A and B are shown apart, each in its own frame.
Chain A
Amino acid sequence: MADRDERDHTTESESAQDGKKRNGKPSKGFSRRQFIKGTGLAVSASVLASEGLLKAAAQEKTPGVSGPGPVPVRLRINGKEHVLRLEPRVTLLDALRNRLDMTGAKKVCDRASCGACTVVIDGRPVYSCTVLAIDAQGRSIGTIEGLAPEDKLHPVSQSFVDNDAQQCGFCTAGFVMAVKAHIDKHPHPTAESVRQSLNGNLCRCGTYVGIREAVLEAATKMSRKGGRV
């Protein structure tokens, strides 16, 4: 899975490298590398043709349409603007992790099923593995990195520490972001609303009891400080 995703991002640079001769020397005879490259090209050509992409590429650009190659993408993450060149197929999660070195959101299922990649967009928790980066433009994206800007833990994060709400920790960033979105919307959560709010995140270590305690404690702390933190 990781290999395939890396390829998603490096398509442009890889193909640029493929065009160059290795070490500047013309290659001799027939090589395995050339064979694989040749087969790959033939396969991609048929795939492209079947998808009608070759036709599209040969035509003038359609107004209102971008890609399939890299295009400028402007993202506002934790209040800061970032401009990247990304293919439309790049997910927000891959842009965060592989291009912006924000590795707090984790890639686990990559199919909107586990919650480890949860970030908050315009106040709502979303699975960043299933949001296209190009589609997150013009919106306010909040990640775990934005919760502790001055090395001081956010009340939600602190409550996770205080309530032993993590074991291996791989799901934690996703949980914290889902919890923050929930408390921002419902400053006085109940035990039942907490269960509901966490229903999109999985913890395979099974630390749910601690996590639920942490949410209630964080909400109390935050409401004492007057709501949103």
Chain B
Amino acid sequence: MRAFEYGNPSSVKQAISLLGSNWSEAAVFAGGTDLLSLMKDSIVTPGRLVNIKEIRELHGIREEKTGMVIGAATPLEDLYDHFSPRKILPALLTAIEGVSSYQMRSMGTAGGDLLQRPRCWYFRNGFGLLARNSKGQPLVPNGDNRYHAIFGNQGPAYFVSPSSLAPALVAFDASVRIEGPKGMREIKVAELFRIPRDAEEREHTIAPKEILTEIVIPASAHNTRSATYEVRERKFMDWPLATASVALRMEGRQVRQASVVLGQVAPTPWRAEAAEKALAGKTLDEATATSAGEAAVEGAHPLSKNGYKVQLVRVAVKRALLAAIA
């Protein structure tokens, strides 16, 4: 790891003052589980780390009128301990449980889960987020793309968004609060993510001088039936191959409104609008869940080695829907 300065502010304001106007100057440092590994491999080389774990207001879970507010530096294990006995927001609970290991949940934070960088092995080996060779040609389409995107992959990005919590949070229509030199802004979790258009752009819409401070889950989320289904190659210590998070507003067995959000299959959490439409007004049973799974893969563009993910999405959507009403 290259040498860096270490800032240890006690307030968000002070933390922002220690950040720089570009990513190479400074990085926000929370759990560090992703950042330090990236730094050891010189994939990112910030000149300063700004530790936000000592900032008290970034910790904990509290209820506001608008909904549940989760401090960005809250360890995932605290979230697990909060959600697990209460059995609330099951789509989120399953996503948190899926972040294994125990050590990773003890160290990793809620905000860090959203802001972790993609696992794309080209990116992790120094070929950049868009995975290009020295001539600027993309390496993924003809390379080993077995874990890459099947949606949103018409260029220039092929990686998948690695966040475990994001699809569930998008399904709940959650927001994030972001503080910067000009004050606080609140955006939908879906708007935190983007498909980068060029090599300069990152996959998050947060700026170098901003800090993600809180996640807000609207109170209406509690009126949904929800579930997350993860298809995995390994049960632990790995990211899933494909996930579906669903949040349903029900009237009896009938779906009034459905949110279906896919994870690990696109450069952002991916809303399956066709599946949502297919469910609206329908009685949810195995047949409608199967049709929704079929609708969810509309518009998929599998690459040379990841066609299997199309079937995983069908299955994940169907099983998440059936789990939500079980």
A67 engages B24 (CB within 8 Å): no
A125 touches B237 (CB 8 A): no
B103 contacts which of A11, A66, A200 (Cβ < 8 Å)? A200
Asked if B104 CB lies within 8 Å of chain A CBs, one says yes
Q: Which residue of A lies closest to B238 (CB)?
A: A113
CA A113 to CA B119, docked complex, whole Å: 13
Q: Once the chains bind, are A199 and B101 in contact (CB under 8 Å)?
A: yes
Inter-subunit contact A132/B6 (CB<8 Å): yes
Given A11-B3, A110-B40, A111-B40, A88:B103 Cβ within 8 A: no
Q: Say yes or no for A215: interface residue by CB 8 A criterion.
A: no
Which of A7-57 touch B at CB < 8 Å? 8, 11, 47, 50-53, 56
Q: How far is the CA of A39 from the CA of B103 in the complex (A)?
A: 41
A118 to B24 CA separation, bound complex (whole angstroms): 30
> In the complex, what residue of chain B is closest to A11 when comparing beta carbons?
B3
CB-contact partner of B237 in A51, A69, A113, A124, under 8 A: A113
Q: How far, in angstroms, from A124 to B1 measured CA to CA in the complex? A: 25
CB distance from A199 to the nearest CB of B (A): 4
A151-191: CB near B (< 8 Å → 1, else 0) gives: 00000000000000000000000000010011000000000
Tell me, yes or no, whether B254 is within 8 Å of chain A by CB.
no
Q: Which residue of A lies closest to B38 (CB)?
A: A111
Closest to A51 in B: B47
User: Which listed residue, B2, B7, B36, B102, touches A62 by the CB 8 Å rule?
Assistant: B7
B residues less than 8 Å from A113 (CB atoms): 237
CB contacts under 8 Å to A, within B31-61, are: 32-33, 36-37, 40, 45-49, 51, 53
Contact B14 A64 (CB under 8 A): yes
Q: A51-B24, A67-B4, A88-B5 are in contact. Are A56 and B32 (CB under 8 A)?
A: no
Partner of A68, one of B3, B18, B20, B107: B3
Selected from B3, B9, B29, B47, the residue in CB contact (under 8 A) with A64 is: B9
Interface centre among B49, B75, B102 (most CB of A within 10 A): B102
- A-B interface, 5 closest residue pairs, ranked by CB to CB distance from nearest: A200-B101, A88-B6, A199-B236, A68-B3, A124-B106
Interface residues of A (CB under 8 A from B): 8, 11, 47, 50-53, 56, 62, 64-69, 71, 87-89, 91, 110-113, 115, 118, 124-127, 130-132, 134-135, 178, 181-182, 196-197, 199-202
Query: Would you give 15 A-B contacts (Cβ < 8 Å), ordered by A?
Result: A47-B45, A51-B24, A52-B25, A53-B47, A56-B48, A88-B49, A111-B37, A132-B32, A135-B29, A178-B102, A182-B102, A199-B100, A199-B237, A201-B101, A202-B237
Please report B residues at the A interface, Cβ cutoff 8 Å: 1-9, 14, 18, 20, 24-25, 29, 32-33, 36-37, 40, 45-49, 51, 53, 75, 77, 100-104, 106-107, 235-237
